[in-house]
Amino acid sequence: MNLDASHDPAMQSWVDSANQPQTDFPIQNLPFGRFRGPDGTLRAAVAIGDQLLDLKQAAACPGWPAGLEGALEALAAGNMNRFMALGKTARQGLRMALSEGFKAGSQQQAAWSACLLPQQAVQMALPCEIGDYTDFYAGIHHATAVGRLFRPDAPLLPNYKWVPIGYHGRSSSIIVSGQPIRRPLGQTKGSGEVPVVGPSQRLDYELELGFLIGAGNQLGEAIAIDDAEDHLFGVTLFNDWSARDIQAWEYQPLGPFLAKNFASSLSPWVVTMEALAPFRAPPLLRQAGDPQPLPYLDGANDRLQGGLNIQLEAWLQTAAMRAAGQSAVRLSSGNASEAAYWTPAQLVAHHTLGGCNLQPGDLFGSGTLSGPRPDQAGSLMEQSQGGKQPIRLPNGETRSFLADGDELTLKAFCERAGARRIGLGECSAIVLPAKG
Ligand code: CA
């Protein structure tokens, strides 16, 4: 593990809220995001406790170490993608400077205090411009559970343990947490002879991690598995909303289309790979008889700690709960390290094997990250057994799929002995009724 002074679990910040035990954003985290500034333009920021550091203002403060000019220029301009393109060394250098500057007793306190804003007071935006979005299917328990609904005898298709399955998604409809989504219209085919057009009746969420690409690669040049992590910028929460009934009718032979392209929600803060260093985990243990990864998917470091020890949760608050002042109920709780068959590095190596060029700001969805147990399932499709067994909520309501007015919130955090707890924040949205 590449741990340094920025991971010291005992380190405290002069920002009081960053020292609260349950904050997602202690000084050991320092995730990046963008918010809409008072002039309406997008600005880059770092989260610290319940505050954010406006990097347009902070970049103009004196006291930055030499060598960070390129990173600070990009961030001062609100150009996250240009910062992401600079790669790991620039990101690590900036992380060290931010860690020093936020540390209790730092000389930056006076200047940086004036660059802080309460996170609650600003409107967050997507953390970067997302050029391309690829949705993987790395959650083996999800793939197995969904496959079992269709093929009880052979839930996993024969390719699953050889090739990281994915498809190219739609980036224009990726929205930031907090924006509502609208129930999509689509073609569905019930028991009738002809399909009908109307609102999806089986709207679902998918609990995923989003991996954002930092430095890209040239068209025609594959990224080797041992270099793959150098191209990862960081990790977000990602809800890949799915209209299961639309998907069931349209997905053959080319895969999901309108079932997915109406919206996907992303959390506003990107937790960097450096912040996650204390929370790496071995990849999911292969079962006896499983194939070993092919050589281009097999890296020495990836075998040791290619996985992510991230705790994942989904929470639901219905409109009736909200009206009654009842707080959200947790639908599931699991861990990415028990859910993902393929590591982020393997996704990068596979995506580029044929020469596809990744670009700064590209997004990979992990695929729904369900654990092995039913209470770890990252979608309602699994929790309700394809709609056959509605789940019962504490107030007596039931759900097979999402209803209008439901607010679905994803949360994630990392905890282990000897490290400071960090979190990924939230990815949340309310479901609006379909357009009439
Ligand atoms: Ca998905």
Taking the C-alpha atoms of residue 71 and residue 59, their distance in angstroms, rounded to an integer, is 9
Above 90 in pLDDT, residue 2? no
Above 70 in pLDDT, residue 134? yes
Q: Domain check: are 86 and 176 in the same one?
A: no
Torsional class of 375: left (φ above 0), alpha (ψ -120 to 50), beta (otherwise): alpha
Q: Domain check: are 260 and 210 in the same one?
A: yes
52 Cα: distance to centroid of ligand 1 (angstroms): 30
Q: Domain check: are 117 and 155 in the same one?
A: no
Q: What was the pLDDT predicted at 283?
A: 96
135 Cα: distance to centroid of ligand 1 (angstroms): 6
- CATH number of the domain at 214, please: 3.90.850.10
Q: Looking at the 3D structure of the chain, how many domains does it have?
A: 2
Model confidence at 1, pLDDT cuts 50, 70, 90, reads: low
Q: Domain check: are 119 and 167 in the same one?
A: no
Q: Domain check: are 190 and 109 in the same one?
A: no
173 Cα: distance to centroid of ligand 1 (angstroms): 14
Q: Domain check: are 13 and 105 in the same one?
A: yes
Q: Domain check: are 185 and 36 in the same one?
A: no
One-letter amino acid for residue 316 of the chain: L
Q: What is the pLDDT of residues 399-427, one digit of tens each?
A: 999 999 999 999 999 999 999 999 999 99
365 Cα: distance to centroid of ligand 1 (angstroms): 6
Q: Domain check: are 344 and 308 in the same one?
A: yes
User: What DSSP string runs through 356-406?
Assistant: PPP-TT-EEE------SSGGG-SSHHHHTTTTTSPEEPTTS-EESSPPTT-
Average pLDDT of the residues in 163-176: 97
Q: Domain check: are 39 and 140 in the same one?
A: no
End position of a domain, from candidates 96, 125, 154:
125
End position of a domain, from candidates 87, 104, 125:
125
Model confidence at 151, pLDDT cuts 50, 70, 90, reads: confident
Q: What was the pLDDT predicted at 436?
A: 80
416 Cα: distance to centroid of ligand 1 (angstroms): 28
* Residues belonging to the active site: 142
Alpha-helix runs per DSSP H in 103-243 = 109-113, 140-150
Q: Domain check: are 151 and 74 in the same one?
A: no
Q: Which domain holds residue 9?
A: 5-125
Q: Domain check: are 264 and 380 in the same one?
A: yes
End position of a domain, from candidates 125, 148, 172:
125
206 Cα: distance to centroid of ligand 1 (angstroms): 6
- CATH number of the domain at 31, please: 2.30.30.230
Q: Which residues keep their CB under 5 angstroms from ion ligand 1?
A: 135, 206, 240
Q: Domain check: are 111 and 250 in the same one?
A: no
Cα Rg, the chain, nearest whole Å: 22
